[in-house]
Structure 1
C-alpha cells in the first residue's frame, strides 16, 4: 500500500498545515490528502481554513509528495465549473501531482449557502451532473450544460495541465458505485469493506487506486492519547450516514455525548505502540485498498508525530505492507 498523511483542516491552521505537508514529504509519506471543510466536526478541533489556499501553498512548498482533496463536494458550496478551474490550477502548481477527490458532501459544510440539505438520492443526482461538468472542463472542451440541477453557459478552462487531472470518487454502497465507478480514476471510501472494492472493480474496466483513510492517535502517553482522541474524534463513531446529515459542531457534540473514551479507544489505535498502529491498517490491506492516508489526531502534535513517522512508523508500515509504488497513483 502507498502510505499517505492527512492535512486535517479541522484541527490545524493554514500555516501549520503547510509546514506539516513539508514535514510529511521529508518523513517519506507517498501522498498527502486534505479535507475541505467550512466547519470542524467538534468545537474542540478548533479550525477550518480554506483548503484550496492551503493546497496552493503546499504545492509551492513541496516537490515530490502526491496531493489530493479528501474530499471536495461540488454540489452546493462550490459550483462544479469553479471546482474544475481550481483543480486545473492546482495541478499546474503541483506539476501534475494532484488528484481531485470528489464526494457528495455533508450538511455540516454545505448548509452555509442557505439552500437546504437535499436527501441522498437528490445529492447523487446533483453529484452526477457535477462530475460530468468537471470532467468535460478538465478535458479542455467548451461546455454548455443544462441539467436538472446545474447550468453552465459557455465555460472553458484556459490553463490546463498537459495530462488531465485524475478524478477520485467517494463511494459508500451499490448505488454510488453504480452511478460513478465507470468513469472514476480512483475509488475513495471511508470504511475498509472488501465488498466495495469488488463491486467497484466489477463496475469499471480499468484498474484504479482504492484510497482509504485511517485515524490514529500516537502519543508517548497512552492515557493522553485516549483522552485526546475522545475529545476531538468521538464524532467518528456516528458512521457516515449519520455524519452526512448533522448540521454543525453542536449537533455532533449532542449526538456523541454518551460516547466514552474506552469506546473511542476500541476503534482508534491510541498510544505509543507502533505494532498496534501498523495493525490498524490491516483491514484496509485485507479489503484490497492500495492507498491509506493516516490521520494523526491532535493538531499541536503533528511535528512530533512526523518525526516518529520518519523514524519508526513508516519503516514498520513498509516492512508489513510493502514499499511505495514508483508513482504515488500507481495501482497494484
Structure 2
C-alpha cells in the first residue's frame, strides 16, 4: 500500500502559506511532502515563486514529515555543487528526512541567466553528470571534477547528513525513465502509467521507490472548481514539449484559449465527491506506485484538508 503525501505548490503560494499547508497536511494524516522548485510561476495568475531552499528550512522546523523537491533542475540555473550543498543542509535540518528529486527542467526557469537552452539529449547528459558530482560531494570528501559540462575544484561539503541524500529522477518518457532506472535512487512521474513503472523496475530500478502526483480542486461547486483549475493550471493541459521550451510566463498566458473547461473536466478531479478523489489516487496505487502526492488547486486549503482527513484518506487506509 502506498503512502499518501501532500504536494506544496511554490507557484501558487507564498512561503508562510506553504508552511501553514504543511502543518495542516500533517494534522490531516498525510505522510510526506513534495515541494516544487521554480524561479517563475507558469503564468502570472498563479502569482508566486519563493526560493524553495528557504521554505524547506522553515518546513524542517514546522513539521516532522519527509520532504522532497519535485523537482529541482541542477544543471543550468544552479550549478550542481551548489544544489549539493543545499540538499545536504536540508537533509541535516530534517534529520535525514529529505530526498532530492531532480529533472531536466524547463526553459521557463533555467534560461534566466542568458544561457542557451540545450536540446533534450544534452539536458539528459548534463543531469547525469550533475548527479555524479553531487554524489561525490555528499561523501564529504574534497572533489575535483573536470567533465563535459561541469568543473569543480577543491570543493568539499562540511555539513552533511549521516547518509548520502537520496536522488530521485523525474521521467515522462522512455529515455528519462531509463536514466532513472540506471542511476537514480527512485523514480518520479506524474501519470499513473503502469508501463512506465514496469520499465523502471525492469530497467534496473528494482524495488527502489516510485512516486507520483496529481492535482485536484476540492469545492462544493464543481463548476466553480473547474473554472478555478482552468484559471490557475491550464498550462498542464498544453500538449507536446511546450512545457519544456517556452521561456516566460507571458508565453503560457498566450496559450490559455487552447484549454477549455471541458478539457479540465476530463483531466482533473473537481468538486466534493470523495469517491472520485479516492479513485484518482487509487489509480497510482494500482499502477504500482510507492508514494502518491496530491495538490489542492485554489484558495480553499482548509476545506481541502478537512475533506481529505474525514472522507478521502480513510478510504485509502
Q: TM-score normalised to the size of structure 1?
A: 0.92
Query: Runs of 5+ in structure 2 lacking a partner?
Result: none
CA contact (8 A) 2:180 2:205 kept: no
Which residue is equivalent to 2:183?
183
Alpha-carbon separation, structure 2, partners of 1:239 and 1:167: 28
What's the offset of the Cα at 1:239?
4.5
Which residue is equivalent to 2:127?
127
CA contact (8 A) 2:8 2:21 kept: yes
Q: Could you report, residue by residue, the CA deviation over 1:229-278 in whole angstroms, capped at 9, with x for unpaired residues?
A: 11111111124632111112221122231211121111000001110111
What's the offset of the Cα at 1:305?
1.4
Which residue is equivalent to 2:306?
307
Alpha-carbon separation, structure 1, partners of 2:222 and 2:177: 39
Q: 3-state SS of the aligned residue for 1:45?
A: coil
What's the offset of the Cα at 1:205?
5.8
Q: 3-state SS of the aligned residue for 2:254?
A: helix
Alpha-carbon separation, structure 2, partners of 1:167 and 1:240: 27
CA contact (8 A) 1:128 1:180 kept: no
Q: 3-state SS of the aligned residue for 1:10?
A: coil
CA contact (8 A) 2:238 2:259 kept: no
Higher RCO structure (Cα 8 Å, ≥6 apart)? 1
Q: Residues 161-310 of structure 1 correspond to what in structure 2 (within 5 A)?
A: 161-204=161-204, 206-239=206-239, 241-298=241-298, 300-310=299-309
CA contact (8 A) 2:180 2:186 kept: no
CA contact (8 A) 1:187 1:211 kept: yes
Alpha-carbon separation, structure 1, partners of 2:225 and 2:72: 29
- Give structure 1 regions of 4+ aligned residues with deviation exceeding 6 angstroms: none
Alpha-carbon separation, structure 2, partners of 1:240 and 1:289: 25
Q: 3-state SS of the aligned residue for 1:37?
A: coil
Q: Could you report, residue by residue, the CA deviation over 1:94-151 in whole angstroms, capped at 9, with x for unpaired residues?
A: 1111111011101111111110211101111111110110111112232111111110
Query: Runs of 5+ in structure 1 lacking a partner?
Result: 319-332
How many residues get paired? 316
Alpha-carbon separation, structure 2, partners of 1:241 and 1:231: 21
Alpha-carbon separation, structure 1, partners of 2:35 and 2:123: 22
Taking only aligned residues, the RMSD between alpha carbons, in angstroms, comes to 1.4
What's the offset of the Cα at 1:177?
2.9
Q: Could you report, residue by residue, the CA deviation over 1:48-78 in whole angstroms, capped at 9, with x for unpaired residues?
A: 1111100110011112x11000000000111
Q: 3-state SS of the aligned residue for 2:11?
A: helix
Which residue is equivalent to 2:33?
32
